[in-house]
Amino acid sequence: MRYISIKSFLLLVVLSLVLAACQPAATPTQAPQPTQPPAQATQPPQPTTAPEPTTPALPQPTIQLPEVDPASVSGDIYAAGSSTVYPLAEKIAELFKAEGFTGNLKIDSIGSGAGFERFCKTGETDIANASRKIKDSEVEACKNIGRTPVEFRIGTDALAVVIHPDNDWATNLTVEELAKLFSNEVTNWNEVNPAWPNQPIKRYSPGTDSGTFDYFVEAVMQPTFGKDKAKEAILKAANIQFSEDDNVLVQGVVGDRYAIGYFGFAYYEENKDKLKDASINGIAPTFDTVEGGEYPLARPLFIYSDAAIMQAKPQVAAFINFFLMNVNDVIEEVGYFPASAAALDGARQAWLNAMAAEVELVLVLPPVDPASVSGDIYAAGSSTVYPLAEKIAELFKAEGFTGNLKIDSIGSGAGFERFCKTGETDIANASRKIKDSEVEACKNIGRTPVEFRIGTDALAVVIHPDNDWATNLTVEELAKLFSNEVTNWNEVNPAWPNQPIKRYSPGTDSGTFDYFVEAVMQPTFGKDKAKEAILKAANIQFSEDDNVLVQGVVGDRYAIGYFGFAYYEENKDKLKDASINGIAPTFDTVEGGEYPLARPLFIYSDAAIMQAKPQVAAFINFFLMNVNDVIEEVGYFPASTTALNQAKQNWLDAMK
């Protein structure tokens, strides 16, 4: 392996990604596929018997960094911070040294806050290890010494709440009980639960400079005591010992039957032969419960550096690269949980950005020549995805496709019905994720949906150009305007006209409708009544044809409607868009996550279809490789590089 400059490796990286497409994946991401085309399947495919994995498959990032040869790297590297990150950083450091690093690599375990102080105030360190995100005040301190922190997500930790092995009363705690046990409100166990012993609680906590302490205060203490009193409650608790050394906490709990403590899961794993872990809300910390989002006390882990440091000290850049490329090989062994593929891709992209800001690595699919492709392709679904799919189809035909390509605009739900129930289509276009019931319907006809993220849409809320009262709406006002609770505008705001609201909505089979119910109606009316509220609204017209909605709003000063941003862009010379919570939908506000009504766009297919019908695979490949060239022209917003890379990886997996 060699450590090479950013300018030298770009071509090699892209080439390696293409070559990787031809290699078997380390971990399959799709269920076994039927060997015959789905149209011929009369029975759902039978599951094959496979050995049960001992732990969940690790997420597979798609972005690769240049190879590093630690033996060719020298110089000093100094990292300090979180005691939780410490064992993981130490493990990576051991590997780095074992592979030949000849410099000095020092890692101090001093707590996240102290780590940021050394990185941002005194400027002593090259890397800050952290079990929480950096605070605004710490970013400002970094700025004062000319540093701009670059964040690298490296994994996930679950806090373990530990008790003495002889403790048989507190084996399952609620978050509220846990908060009280660490508060100044109680001294003895039986003050939390009368069935528990009338004995003083001996409490052991990481030090106040630790990210573990900060996280515990936020996740456990605040829900019970509120933001203002949460920290005070634990700081003033009786019989509490704080320490930045988690081994001190372990020994404290081991030595007293009436003790309770908390720290990173890795330290429990190291000491589980002499400690007991308490479940929280009935859920114990395991790889399954943390990865599945069930365990309540899980948190991300990070390392931070600075682009100028990484460029001036190649040994630091090399170590961070090595960390990001090897962390998933050791993280479970240390006792933590892997970050998602998307999060790790984000960290790797951050490394690339720090080393050369203009670089954005993109996964490359094998080239497609549409002129050499023939056969039928049939797609149906979302009216929102339709103009984007049509644009790609036009390009595909313009470059020589000689077959028949049909795309129907019928709404996401109807599209999934044709794909998953009747099996008529090769591709389902959708402005929402596929539902479990639709996946099950697909399974019944021998199909396993493969998801491809293609972009992002923002819903535009549109009004008549002469409407000068509803130019800026809150989400709650918007929900009421589309509900059966009001008929006239002034019932929402007395300053608005005493005139009937004319409402225009996409049809109930549309993903746009589903998204509006979820994002707008549910926060005000609740999950059970949200859909009913809009369906029973007076003066409302539903249509799967967004042009009908446009014409409805154009024709009435007291009308209001909503649909995909692309349709507003097409008609903005005759419509006005309302801001939501003070934010108008623009490329900047959607990309920056500020605009409240944005949603992902997808197409779905099936591996067996793609393998049996190469024209379908070719069209999806062409779609993913060209979508960002046209998406803004159509009026939508690009998916992130990570999301589009994942879609391309899904294509590669489906074609194996």
Q: How confident is the model at residue 60 (pLDDT cuts 50, 70, 90)?
A: low
Lowest mean pLDDT among 210-224, 279-293, 597-611: 279-293
Q: Which residue has the higher pLDDT, 3 or 317?
A: 317
Of 591 and 566, more confident:
566
Q: What's the pLDDT tens digit per position in 160-193? A: 999 999 999 999 999 999 999 999 999 999 999 9
Residues 445 and 420: beta-carbon distance below 8 Å: yes
Indicate whether 223 pLDDT > 90: yes
State the Cα torsion 364-38-390-599 to the nearest 10°. -70
The count of other CB atoms within 10 Å of the CB of residue 552 is 19
Q: Is 611 exposed, middle or buried (0-12, 13-18, 19+ CB in 10 A)?
A: middle
CA-CA-CA-CA torsion sign (435, 441, 443, 448): negative
pLDDT at position 200: 97
Given this model, what pLDDT does residue 497 score? 97
Q: What are the tens digits of pLDDT across the range 506-553?
A: 999 888 898 899 899 999 999 899 999 999 999 999 998 888 999 999
Q: Cα-flanking dihedrals φ and ψ of residue 47, to 5°?
A: -65, 145
Residue 329 identity (one-letter amino acid): D
Span 638-649, pLDDT tens digits: 888 888 889 999
* Whether the predicted pLDDT of 358 surpasses 70: no
With a cut of 60, say whether residue 333 has pLDDT above it.
Answer: yes
21-35, 299-313, 521-535, 615-629: the lowest-pLDDT one: 21-35
- Cβ atoms within 10 Å of 396's Cβ, excluding its own: 22
pLDDT greater than 90 at residue 20: no
121 neighbors 228 (Cβ within 8 angstroms): no
> What value does the mean pLDDT take over residues 297-307?
93
Report the pLDDT value the prediction gives residue 6, as an integer from 0 to 100.
Answer: 36
Higher pLDDT, 205 or 341: 205
Nearest to 563 by CA among 367, 338, 46, 551: 551
What percentage of residues in the chain have a pLDDT greater than 70? Answer: 89
Helices (H) and strands (E) in the chain, counts: 25, 22
Instruction: For residues 622 and 396, give the distance between their C-alpha atoms in angstroms, rounded to a whole number.
Output: 7
Alpha helices in 421-502 (DSSP H): 436-444, 475-481
Q: What is the pLDDT of residue 566?
A: 78
Give 274-294 pLDDT, tens digit per residue: 999 999 999 998 877 886 778
Q: Is the pLDDT of residue 320 over 50?
A: yes
Q: What span, in angstroms and rounded, lies between the C-alpha atoms of 37 and 39?
A: 6
CA-based nearest residue to 291, from 225, 338, 221, 256: 338
What type of residue sits at position 376?
D
pLDDT computed for residue 190 by the predictor: 97
Going by the DSSP 8-state scheme, the letter that residue 337 receives in this structure is B
Q: Write down the mean pLDDT value for the chain.
A: 87
pLDDT in tens, 403-422: 999 999 999 999 999 999 99
Residue recorded with tokens 């403790």: 167
Q: What is the pLDDT of residue 291?
A: 67
Least confident of 73-77, 122-126, 270-274: 270-274
User: What is the pLDDT confidence band of residue 468, given thresholds at 50, 70 and 90?
Assistant: very high
* pLDDT of amino acid 38: 36
The answer to whether residue 59 scores a pLDDT higher than 60 is no
